[in-house]
Amino acid sequence: MNRSLIALLFAFFAFLIRAQAGDPLPVHTHSIVIDPIVTSDSVSCMIPFTRAGNLILIQAKADTMQGFFVLDTGTPNLVLNITYFRNYPASNPTESGGITGSVPAAAQTKVDSLVLGPVRYYHMDADLINLGHIENKKGIKIFGLLGMKLFEHFEMIIDYDRSVIYLHLINKKEAPTYKSAQLNDTLAYSIIPIEISEDKIVAHGLLKGRKLKFIIDSGAETNVLDSRLPNKVFESVVITKRVQLTGSGSAKVEALYGDLKDIQIGGQNISTLPVLITNLQSMCDSYNDCIDGMLGFDFLSLHKIGFNFVNHKMYVWK
Amino acid sequence: MRDGRHRKMGWVGVGLLVSLFLLASPARVFSQGRNVRTYTIKNGRMYIALSRHIDKAQLDSFIVQYDLSDLDLPRALYSRSPKSFKPLNKMGWRMDIDNNQMVVISKAMIGLGNMNDPAKRMTLTEDHPNSDDLFPSENDNLLFGFNRFVGKFPFAVTDSFVTFYVKGHTRAREVLLAGSFTNWQNQAVRMTSTDSGWIYVIKLHPGKYWYKFIIDGNWTIDRENNLSEDDGRGNTNSVYFKTNAVFTLQGFVSARDAFLAGSFNDWNPGDLPMYRTFNGWQIHLYLAEGTHTYKFIVDGKWVEDPKDGDRLPDGHKGFNSVYRIGKPHLFVLNGYNQAKSVVLAGSFNQWKPYELFMHKTAAGWELPYTIGPGNYEYKFLVDGKWIPDPANPLFVEKKEANTRNSFLIIAPNHTFRLQGFEHAERVYLAGDFNNWTPGALHMKRVGDDWVFNIHLSVGKHLYKFIVDGKWIKDPDDPLWEGNEFGTDNSVIWIEHN
C-alpha cells in the first residue's frame, strides 16, 4: 500500500469519526488531519494563556463544558475534574505500573470532543480525578488537565513573557525537518535531546559529571529533587527551609527546600535552581527505573522554551 | 560543613574526631567547630548538627531560618536530661551524636504520597508560600485601593463611566482592552483610535479591576499605570481601582506634604500621598463598605480631620476621624443595667476593646455600627468581661481559645436549601465559612424544606448539612469532592458579580 493511499484512508477514517461525533465539518478548506483523532483548522496557532499561581491555564472545551484546563506535561492523559464530569460513564479503574503498587486507580471515561483553539480531538480517553484541592488553593474553577499525549504530534513553544503558546501540528511529510520560523536564528537557543518515556518528557542534566534524569513538568510549580540521590549530589545543594506538607491522607510529611548549584542543562549552566527535596520512590516505573527529579515552572520560566515532540527535541532560548 | 574549620581545631579536635570516628560513624561527616549549626542531607536522611556552644540567639535564628519551632531544639541542646530527646524521638528523629561538643539528629526522608497522582503532585509541588493568585476575589477582604498612575490623574471618570486610555501606538492596526471585567480575552473589547492613542469607555462599579492591552496581538500592561500585580515572573496585570471615597483636608497650604492613613491601610503613614488643591489637599480612594477610621499626616504630624465631627477613641487618649460607607447595623444587648460600660468588639474592628462604647438605653445597651456584606464574629465586653451576644443563637467555636464568638451575617447572598428531610428534627449547616462548627448554624424549616441564608464571598466554598447529628453532603448539589476524612464535601462556587 503506498503512502498516499494510507493518508487517504486516514482522512476518510477521520471524516467518519467526525460525522459520528455530530460536529459540523470545518468550513476551513485547509483542515489538517494527522491522526484519526486529532485535526486542526490551521497548521500553526497561537493560544493565549493566563496563570493561577504558576500553573498555565488554557481555555478549552470538553464536549459542552468550557473553561480553564491546566497544561500539565507531567501527566500522560487528558484528565477531567470529576466534580464537573460526574455523570460521565466511567469504566472500572485499572491498576497499572509503579513498583510501590500504589498507583491510584483513576476511573476512565471518554469525551466526544475536546477543542483547544483551532485544534480538535475526537473520542478522547480521559481520566476522572478529583482536582478539588488545586481549585481550593487557586480559587479558580479547573475543569481538567491537558496531558502529554495531546501534544505528541506537535511542536510547542511556551512564551511566558507574552503569555502565549505556539502550537504547530507536524504532519508526516514535514516531520523529519520541521521547525518553527522562531527557530531560524540558531544562535539564539540551544537544543537538548529529550525522550518521551511512559508519555512523560525526560531530559538530562549534568551535575559535577553526573547525569541526572528529570521529567519536564509544567504542572509542577517548583522543581523537585529526589532525596535518595548520592551524597555527592547534595554537596551541591544548600538547604534553605524545612516544610511540612500533607502527604498521604492528612498526615504531615517533612520535605526540604534547597538551592541546587551549578547544574548544566543542554549546555547552559544554571547557577542556582530552587528545588523541593523529597523521596521520589513512588515515581519509579514498573521496571524500577527512577527519575532523579522534576523540572517545573522555576525551570520552564527561566527562558522561552520549546518542544518538538515528534523529533524529541527541547529548545531553550538563551 | 566542609569549610576548612577542621584545620583550626588543633590536636585536641583531631583527637576528638578520631574518637568520634570510632564511636559513631556519622560524626565523620560533621564539622566540630564551636558555631556549627547545619541542615544537610546524606544517605536519604536529613541531618541537623548543632554545636553545644552556640548561644540562644544563634539557635533561635537557626530555628527561624529552617522553620523548626515544632522540634523544641533548645530542650534537646541545652538540657542534659535523657528525657529531653524523647519528643524528637516520637517525631521520628534519631540521635546520632550527643556529646559535650555537639548534638546531631537525623530523620529518614519519606515520600509525600503518590506523585503519580496528578492532583497530588500538583498540590505538593505548589509554590510555597503561595504566589499571588491572578484571579483574586474583588469583594474578599479588600478594604481599600488607590490608583498610582505615571501622570497625576488616572483615567477620566464621568459618573460610573471610566475612559480607559492607552497613549501612542497610533500606527497599530488594532488595540484591545482585556481585563477581569471582560473575562479577559474572551470578551476583550476593541478600543477606538484617537489622535494621541486609543480609548474605550466602560461602566464600572466601585472596586478593583485587572486589565491589559492587546496591541496588534501583543499583550502589554499599561505603561502609564504604576500599579500592577504579578508573581515576579513576567506575568503581570495592571490594576485599576474605581474609587468611591474622597478625603479632603482644607488649609495647610504651606505644608510640604500630606498623607492619609487609617484602619484600611493598617495606619501606614507614608502609603497614601495626598495631592494639592487650590485650598488644601485631597485623595480619592476605593473603600469597601463599612466603618473606617483615619487621620491625616501633615509634615509628619498626625492630625484629626478638622471638618468631621464623627470620631472614635484611638486608644492613645485621642480620637480618630471616621468614614462610614453603607447602612448601619444596630447591635443590642438587653439587661446589664448595672454595668458601668459595655464595649462592642469583633472581627470588623480587629477586636479593639477601647473603640466602640455602647450607649445605655432603658432596656440595656445599643450601638449602630456600619459594616459591609460578610460574615463576622463579635462579643461584648461588659465591665471587662467578654460575653457572647445572649440574643444571637449563631456562633463560631474557637477551639484553640476554648471559647465561642457570636456570628453575624450581613447582606446574605446565598440560600442553602435541604429537601427530602421533612421528618428530621434538627438540621444544621456547617462549612469553611464557619470553621466547620457543628450545631451553630441552625437551619429554618420552611414547608418541608430546611433553609439557611448566609453571605458567601466570591470563590469556592465547601459545606455539609448535619441532619439529626449525621453529617451529609447536599443531595441536590451535583458538585462535591472527597476530603481528608474519606467522606465528601459539597462544593459551591460564588461567581463574580
ipTM of model: 0.78
CA distance B490 to B482: 9
- pLDDT at res. B358: 96
pLDDT at B32: 64
The reply to whether residue A145 touches residue B118, judged by beta carbons under 8 angstroms, is yes
Q: What 8-state DSSP symbol labels residue A229?
A: S
Closest listed residue to residue A90, CA positions, set A127, A143, A144 = A127
Statement: residue B179 has pLDDT above 80: yes
Same fold, B118-242 and B245-325: yes
Check B109 against A87: CB less than 8 A apart. no
pLDDT in tens, B213-260: 999 989 899 999 988 886 333 458 899 998 999 999 999 999 999 999
pLDDT tens-digit map of B441-473: 999 988 889 999 999 887 889 999 999 999 999
Residue B138, min C-alpha distance to chain A (Å): 12
With CA atoms as reference, the chain B residue closest to A67 would be: B186
Closest CA to A293 of A218, A234, A199, A216: A216
Q: Which residue has the cell 503518590?
A: B114
- Using a CB-CB cut-off of 8 Å, the residues of chain A touching B460 are 135-136, 139, 141
**CATH superfamily of this structure's domain B414-494:** Immunoglobulins (2.60.40.10)
Q: How far is B244 from chain A (nearest CA, A)?
A: 27
With 0-12 / 13-18 / 19 or more C-beta atoms within 10 angstroms meaning exposed / middle / buried, residue B155 is buried
With bands split at pLDDT 50, 70 and 90, how would you rate the model's confidence at B17?
very low
Query: Residue B29 is placed in which grid cell?
Result: 561527616
Question: A90: distance to nearest CA of chain B, Å?
Answer: 16
Nearest alpha carbon to residue B293 among B268, B261, B321: B321
Determine the pLDDT at residue B282.
94
Q: Which residues of B touch A164 (CB under 8 A)?
A: 219
Q: Identify the CA nearest to B344 among candidates B373, B292, B386, B374.
A: B386
Average confidence (pLDDT) over B324-338: 92
In a mutagenesis test of the A interface, which of B3, B42, B64, B112 is the best target, namely the one with the most A β-carbons within 10 Å? B112
pLDDT score, position A105? 61
pLDDT, position A269: 86
d(CA B44, CA B470): 45
CA distance A77 to chain B (A): 10
Q: How large is the average pLDDT for residues B34-48?
A: 90
Which residue, B252, B300, B305, is CA-closest to B280? B252
CB contact under 8 A, B233 and A54: yes
Q: According to the CATH classification, is domain B245-325 in 3.40.50.620?
A: no
What fold is seen in the domain B328-410? Immunoglobulin-like (2.60.40)
pLDDT(B22) > 60: no
- Quick one: pLDDT at residue B111? 84
Q: Which chain B residue has its CA at the smallest distance from A102's CA? A: B114
**B418 and B449 in contact (C-beta within 8 Å)?**
yes
pLDDT of residue B260: 96
Measured in whole angstroms, the distance separating CA A272 from the mean position of its chain's CA atoms is 24
Q: Which of A46, A242, A278 sits opposite B112 (nearest CB)?
A: A278
Which grid cell is A288?
A: 524500577
Burial category of B228 from C-beta neighbours within 10 Å (exposed 0-12, middle 13-18, buried 19 and up): middle
pLDDT category at A287 given cuts 50, 70, 90 is low
Distance from CA of B187 to the nearest CA of A (A): 13
Residues of chain B with C-beta less than 8 angstroms from the C-beta of A141: 460, 493
**B-chain residues within 8 Å CB-CB of A296?**
125
Determine the CATH number of domain B118-242: 2.60.40.10
* A137–B123 CB contact, under 8 Å: yes
CB spacing of B115 vs A280 below 8 angstroms: yes
The nearest CA of chain A is from the CA of B139 a distance in Å of: 13
Domain map of chain B by residue range? 14-108, 118-242, 245-325, 328-410, 414-494
Mutate to test the interface with A, among B125, B140, B463, B492 (most CBs of A within 10 A): B125
Neighboring chain A residues of B111 at a CB cutoff of 8 Å: 247, 253, 278-282
Distance between B108 CA and the closest CA of chain A, angstroms: 9
In 3D, which of A197, A221, A114 has the Cα closest to residue A148?
A197
pLDDT for A25-57, tens place per residue?
A: 232 334 555 554 677 666 788 898 888 878 899
- Distance between CA atoms of residues A209 and B291, nearest Å: 64
Region A218-237: mean pLDDT is 93
What one-character-per-residue DSSP string does A101-129 give? S-----EEEEEEEEEETTEEEEEEEEEEE
pLDDT in tens, B352-361: 999 999 999 9
| Cell numbers linked to A286 | 514498573
Nearest CA in chain A to B119: A131
Give the confidence band of A249 by pLDDT, cuts at 50, 70, 90. low
Q: Can you say how many angstroms the Cα of residue B236 is from the centroid of all Cα atoms in its chain?
A: 21
Interval B172-189 mean pLDDT:
83
For B299-320, what is each residue's pLDDT tens digit?
999 999 988 678 999 888 889 9
Q: Do A104 and B110 touch (CB under 8 A)?
A: no
Contact pairs from chain A to chain B, CB under 8 Å: 208
Q: Mean pLDDT over residues B193-198, rounded?
A: 88
The partner residue sitting opposite A160, judged by closest CB among B185, B233, B479, is B233
Query: Cβ of A74 and B118 within 8 Å?
Result: yes
Q: Which chain A residues have a beta carbon less than 8 Å from that of B46?
A: 227, 239, 242, 254, 256
Q: Is residue B338 predicted with pLDDT exceeding 90?
A: yes
Neighbours of B84 (CB within 10 A): 17
Cβ distance of B135 and A294 shorter than 8 Å? no
pLDDT exceeds 50 at position A1 = no
Mean pLDDT of A114-143: 88
Q: Is the CB of B133 less than 8 angstroms away from the CB of A138?
A: yes
How do residues B58-86 score in pLDDT, each as one tens digit?
887 788 778 787 888 888 888 777 788 88
Query: B45 CA to chain A: closest CA distance, Å?
Result: 8
- pLDDT at site B412: 87
Q: Which of A56, A316, A268, A294 is nearest to A162 (CA)?
A: A56
Q: Is the peptide bond before A274 cis (omega within 30 degrees of 0)?
A: no
Mean of the per-residue pLDDT values for chain A? 81
Name the band, by pLDDT with cuts 50, 70 and 90, for residue A247.
low
Q: What pLDDT shows up at residue A20?
A: 34
Residues of B within 8 A of A106 (CB-CB) are 117
